[in-house]
Amino acid sequence: MTKVKSPFTAKSVEAIKATNKRQEIPDPGLKGFYLIVQPLPGGAKSWAVRYKGKPKYTIGSVAIWTLADARKEAGRVMRACDEGRDPHAAKKEAANDDNLVENALAEFVKRHVKIKNRASTAREQQRFIDNELLPRWKGRRINSITKRDIVKMLNEIVDRGAPQSALRVKALVSKFFAWCVGTDRLEASPCTGIEPPAVVTKRKRVLSPDEIRLVWKGADIIGWPFGPLTKLLLLTGQRREEVAGASWAEFALDAKQPVWTIPEHRAKNGNANVVALAPAALAVIASLPRVAGKGDLVLTTNGETSISGYSRGKRRLDDAMLAVARKEACERGDDPNKVAIPEWTLHDLRRTFATLGGDIGILPHTIEAILNHARVGISAHYNHARYEAEKRSSLLHWARHIEAIVEANLGSNVAV
């Protein structure tokens, strides 16, 4: 029987050889913690706990459990025994199908995500679950997900050029495992101590007038449904999910002063927002097809759900914008290959309205009201004015400004 005098190390464990007899080798560094070596020809190695006369508790294979993780698990098992709990029963419970990652995530979405978050956030978190978590972890049990698994996933997301998505995934995974602890599925979260995978950055991108013109022309080229969505985002300054999820019942198109009312259950901050509709916005809405279906959605291709595929639609829009810009460069006699459009997002249209709107004289408090930002400080308690008249005149002024930009022949290279 092999005996060791010093606490296990990864190197010393690797050096222990299998014989023709089964071996149980105690770790001098942690009483009750054992390395089990099966006899030849297999010679498999695993970790186990023998503690206070309790039945042997098998932790798992050395190939899967690192020494550090196995020691930590051994400590957890011994603590359970000291507290009068049965670690074998807990292990059996952990093997329940309810603790498969996909099943636990489904319950998490039902019991937490959809209850604690607005619909747009719930959809985003479900997208991360479908695209990031399940492809990697489906079929595994939640207690098998280690800190190393999570860090590896986050690094992969960062390495493919999506650091801000990595931050959101980390927040989601942290909430999920905290929920698992809170519902007694796990004793501790594997997310503890994981550093943020990227630096939180606040975007400052504001589109130039020439870029706005290209956005509009690109939207004309790609057409329904992503083109009209983009134009409405630009004309109203509202959030993507609020525009995409609009229903016909929210619009008063025949009123003397047409408006679109975003109900409180769809608004990000829970406050309903009345958005005045300029003639340019009314023209876009009038061009939209009425898709038959069970729903009353404005932007839908199947009559039941709002449009999706934003990434694909945005790529089509970027390509159309670049094609227009390069064609204009050729017409000017410039090198089209030197024309480039700096990266931008749909949310940047909202920031563009806030910034350029101020440049054309829209007052800050009116911009905040149009954007439906939550008020803070004293204003949140005492100022409940809606500024509807100011919002209407400002949105009409903004729409005329956009029309002037679109009609202008600016034609300069966006970037070289």
Which band of pLDDT confidence, cut at 50, 70 and 90, is reported for residue 331?
very high
Reported as type and span, the H/E element at residue 273 is strand 273-276
Task: Provide mean pLDDT across the span 28-37.
Answer: 95
Query: Which domains does the chain possess?
Result: 10-94 (3.30.160.390), 98-182 (1.10.150.130), 209-407 (1.10.443.10)
Dihedral over Cα of 327, 331, 337, 342: its sign: negative
Q: Is 48 helix (H, G, I), strand (E, B) or coil?
A: strand
From 57-61, 129-133, 186-190, 411-415, the region with the lowest mean pLDDT: 411-415
Nearest Cα residue to 402 out of 217, 131, 197: 217
Residue 403 phi, psi dihedral angles, 5° rounding: -60, -40
Q: Which residue(s) pair with 261 in the sheet?
A: 274
Tell me, what's the pLDDT at 162? 84
Tell me, what's the pLDDT at 375? 61
The residues, ordered by sequence, that sit 6+ positions from 291 with a Cβ below 8 Å of its Cβ are 297, 300, 301, 302, 303
Residue 224 phi, psi dihedral angles, 5° rounding: -65, 140
Tell me, what's the pLDDT at 18? 93
Q: What is the pLDDT of residues 356-390, one digit of tens each?
A: 999 999 999 999 999 998 765 545 444 456 789 99
Q: Which residue(s) pair with 247 in the sheet?
A: 297
From 92-106, 146-160, 299-313, 329-343, the region with the lowest mean pLDDT: 92-106
Write down the mean pLDDT value for the chain: 90
Tell me, what's the pLDDT at 383? 47
Q: Is the peptide bond before 258 cis (omega within 30 degrees of 0)?
A: no
CB of 378 within 8 A of CB of 233?
Answer: no
Task: Provide mean pLDDT across the span 97-114.
Answer: 92
Tell me, what's the pLDDT at 87? 79
Cβ neighbours, 10 Å, residue 20 = 8
Instruction: Look at residue 416 and tell me whether its pLDDT is greater than 50.
Output: no
Tell me, what's the pLDDT at 222? 97
Tell me, what's the pLDDT at 378? 47
Q: How far separated are the first and last CA of the chain, in Å rounded?
A: 74
Task: Provide mean pLDDT across the span 341-351.
Answer: 94
Tell me the two tokens of residue 23. Answer: 């071996």
CB of 67 within 8 A of CB of 13?
Answer: yes
Tell me, what's the pLDDT at 124? 87
Tell me, what's the pLDDT at 413? 47
Instruction: Look at residue 148 and tell me whether its pLDDT is greater than 90.
Output: yes
Higher pLDDT, 94 or 156: 156
Tell me, what's the pLDDT at 415? 46
Which band of pLDDT confidence, cut at 50, 70 and 90, is reported for residue 117?
confident
Percent of the chain with pLDDT over 70: 93
